[in-house]
Each structure stands twice: as structure tokens, then as C-alpha cells.
Amino acid sequence: METFYFQPKAFGYHPNNAYSLALASELAYERDQQKAQQRGKDWGFEQMLFFDRGGTQAVLLYDADKIIVTFRGTEPDVLDDWITDIKIRKTTGPGGNVHRGFKEALNWIWLDVEKAIEAIREAVPKEKQQTLWFAGHSLGGALATLATALCKFNEQPFAVHGLYTYGQPRVGSEKFAAAFNGVFKSQTFRFVNNADIVTRVAPSICDYGHVGQIKYFDKDGTCKSDTDLSWWSTFWDRVEGDLDHYRNCSPKGRMPNSIADHDLSGQYIPRLKRHREEWEASQSAVPQA
């Protein structure tokens, strides 16, 4: 069983939180609630709650220090159809216009999630209330972003302390993205794995914009931030990643690199684990005063 590393008061970027919230996002895909409960207990969580309505699913984990809500993304076996059929219609949302389908999906369970968070926090004194975190992979990342926006713009009674997403699509208009970044960019971290195609829908040409700070895994699995990236370098890195994928995969079972790179369990989590381990090693190498 993997270790669940988490820093509940690290409100800026932290590799431990990036890795652990990816594990929690993976848990949202688990259909066997008993297995999910056991995994959560192994991580040290006291309780877990499950939400499932209208085709939207989420998991809430909590203990004395933190509340983590992760939303389930698109199932791998329907990913091709989902990308093909994704609609670009927008509707009014918190902070600006947002993707209509994403908002409708979140609406199915949001009131239940909101009530659960309120009940958990009301059970403890205000000075001991847990920090709150949202996360998700793929479509789940979009729903986590919208949930955060609801808390930031609709004056919910609780604050969000961090948002981590993995392979998420664009959620709303450029106006929405600008408003979101104006209040929460410093605590939002959006992971992109090389050629992952989902991170490029819905298209920017249709007035869709991304939120948060990008954390980009290049073809070799090295994590890079905004300041290390340019459009041109990212473009060529994706081309090289496509070529490497083509050369290394057997023709019989080959899927496009843009789809393969979207895999949470097989791509994002191993790379996040390596990223966390490299960070930990660098900390150990720093001379102590």
C-alpha cells in the first residue's frame, strides 16, 4: 500500500500534496466502496462519504486536519467518444460563463457535498476546523474547478485551501479564467502530462481558457512550471513524445500518445511519485544549519 503524504497547511504548491491528491482522485474511480473504504483507512482517514447521482460521482475523505473532495473523471473505455462528443455550449456560472455540461454534472451532487462539508466543520470548534481541498482527474478536474469557483464566488460558508487537477479540460470562458485566477491562482495547480489531449479541449478558439498554475511533465517525466515553458518548447516536446510512443509500442495494441498520456494510474501517478521522491531527496541533501 502506498503512503499518503499530505501537508494540510501547505497552501502553496507541495509535491507531497500533488502526489497524494492524485491517489485520492484515483480512489474516485473505485466502484467497490468496501475497497475504497479500506484504502482510505490505510491512509489514516477516519471517515469517507460517497456521492453518486445523475452520472456524477465524488468521494469525500476527512480526519481531524483535512477534508478532501475528489470527483470522478471520464471512464477510459468511453474517453474517445467523450472527446468526440464534447459540447462547447456555455452557460452562466460563478465568475463568468462556464461549460454547460460540466455545470449540469456538478449540480447533480453539489448540494449534497456542500451539506456534508458544513456538517463536518460544524462538529468542531471554528479554530480547529479542517482545511478543505478539491481535486480530480479529467472531467473530475473540471468539476473540482467549478466546485472551487462556487466556493470563491458564491459566498459559501467555507474556504478552499487548495485545488489540484490532473489532465483536466478547459472549464469556462477567458473571463471566467481571469476571474478565477484573480482570486485563487496561487493555490491552484493544473498538471498536464506531455501530449494529453484532454487538456486541449474545449478549444481556446471557442473562448475557453485554462485556470491555475501549470505543472507540465515532459516526455521524460520531468516536471516543469510556467516559468520553464514556452509554446514552442512544449510543442516540440509533444512531437518527440509522440515519436517515442510510436517506436516503443507494439502496432497491435497501440493507442495514440495523446490518449495514452491521459492515464491517471499509468502515467500521472507514477510521474508524480517520482517528482515527490526527487523533491524529498533534494530536501535531504540540503545542509542543516
Q: Report pLDDT digits (tens) over 182-212.
A: 999 999 999 999 989 899 888 888 899 999 9
Burial letters 108-146, b for 16+ CB under 10 A, else e: bbbeebbebbeebbeeeeeeeebbbbbbbbbbbbbbbbb
In which band, very low, low, confident or very high, does the pLDDT at 161 lie, cut at 50, 70 and 90? very high
Widest CA span in the chain: 59
CA–CA distance, 222 with 216 (Å, rounded to integer): 8
Mean pLDDT of 56-77: 91
- Rounded Cα distance, 101 and 54, in Å: 12
- 111 or 219, greater pLDDT: 111
Give me the residue label for grid cell 509554446: 231
Q: How many CB atoms lie within 10 A of CB 5?
A: 17
Q: What average pLDDT does range 66-75 have in this prediction? A: 92
User: Confidence band (pLDDT; 50, 70, 90) for 175?
Assistant: very high
Note the pLDDT of residue 195: 86
The percent of residues in the chain predicted with pLDDT above 70, rounded, is 83
Under 8 Å between Cβ of 165 and 196: no
Residues whose CB is less than 8 angstroms from the CB of residue 115 and which lie 6 or more positions away in sequence, other chains included: none
Q: Quick one: what percent of the chain has pLDDT higher than 90? A: 63
Beta bridge partners of 193: 217
Residue 254: φ, ψ to 5°: -75, 135
Extended beta strands in 78-151, E state: 90-93, 96-99, 131-137
Helix axes 139-153, 100-107, angle to 10 degrees: 80
DSSP bridge pairs for 96: 93
Q: How far is CA 38 from CA 1, 46, 169, 185, 259, in A?
A: 11, 11, 31, 34, 30
Calculate mean pLDDT across residues 232-244: 48
Q: Is 55 left (phi over 0), alpha (psi -120 to 50) or beta?
A: left
Q: How high does pLDDT run on average in the chain? A: 86
| Peptide linkage before 177 cis (omega within 30 of 0) | no
Residues 6+ apart with CB under 8 A from 53: 108, 109, 112
Q: Where are the alpha helices (DSSP H) in 154-222?
A: 174-184
pLDDT of residue 169: 93
CA distance 186 to 213: 7
With bands split at pLDDT 50, 70 and 90, how would you rate the model's confidence at 5? very high
Pairing, β 223-225 against β 213-217: antiparallel
**Count, residues in the chain:** 289
